[in-house]
Amino acid sequence: MTALVTASFTEASRDIQHVPVKLRRCLFYDESSYLPFYTYSDCLLKCRMLFLLAKCKCTPFNMPKMVNKRTCDMRDVPCLKMYHVQSLTVRPDVDPIPPELELDMVGGGIPCPMCYPSCSKTAYNYDFTSNKMYPEYLNTVKTNDRVQWLQGANFTGTSIVHVKYAREVADCYGQNIIMKWFDLISNIGSTCGFVTGFSFVSVLEFIYFYTVKLFREINSRRQQEKRIDSETSGNFDHISRYRPIYWNELGGSTQWRQGTPN
């Protein structure tokens, strides 16, 4: 049998670290108080260990040993068997939990809200290929005609597993923030300018001229009217723009009219 291994590496940028954990749903290796070096698998393992320790007062022998904690023995097998399936099921951190998961069949699972996937991780995919061996033929092959690691091997009742990488390179993926808050404002302004003919700056100007500018103009006019009223309300003599015109100035003197010959 041949096992072909394909690796893929995902690396997250530190720019996403300012995003809240509940929003980005991942943790970096150095930002968890639950583990000194955080990985998702280690977090789930520790969560399982603490669950079994609380239920059975011991930790299984196939798990890392905890300081001052007892390792389970044959007397604890019934307890471990009782909570085995429940310890393998992690309750999702959602509310409400979908009934399709059927967690009631496994005791509700174990809550591990502190465990998030790692932001940077390496994943491996496996592809298996099985070939039938013919020992009676392979044993007749001369030693010099065999590869070095098969020289002198007896193939009767033998199985060979060959593990190797499928490719010499691995896929590398990056995680980064697609859009920040100023990018969002810029895109909104560009869309408004393209579709409706105004931009975000135009909206700010519209708000400014119809609020702050309008209030200042009204307040300035009111102060000007109050100043004019205070100046004209004093005891001043009436000043006329034109002097009074008398009748004699318009029609002439009566005595002059009488002395004029007909």
Domain boundaries, the chain: 2-175, 182-262
**Which CATH superfamily is 2-175 part of?**
Acid-sensing ion channel domain (1.10.287.820)
**pLDDT score at 75:** 92
Lowest mean pLDDT among 49-63, 151-165, 197-211, 242-256: 242-256
pLDDT digits (tens, 9 = 90+) for 10-29: 888 888 888 888 888 889 98
Instruction: Provide mean pLDDT across the span 127-156.
Output: 81
pTM of this structure: 0.57
In sequence order, what DSSP letters do the residues of the chain get, joined into one string? -EEEEEEEEEEE-GGGGGS-HHHH--B-TTS-SS-SS--HHHHHHHHHHHHHHHHHSSB-TTS---TT-PBP-GGGHHHHHHTHHHHH-EEPS-SSPPGGG-GGGGTT-EE-TT---BSSEEEEEEEEE-----HHHHTTS-GGGS-GGGTT---TT----EEEESSSS-EEEEE--S--HHHHHHHHHHHHHHHTS--HHHHHHHHHHTTHHHHHHHHHHHHHHHHHHHHHTS------SS----HHHHH--HHHHHTS--
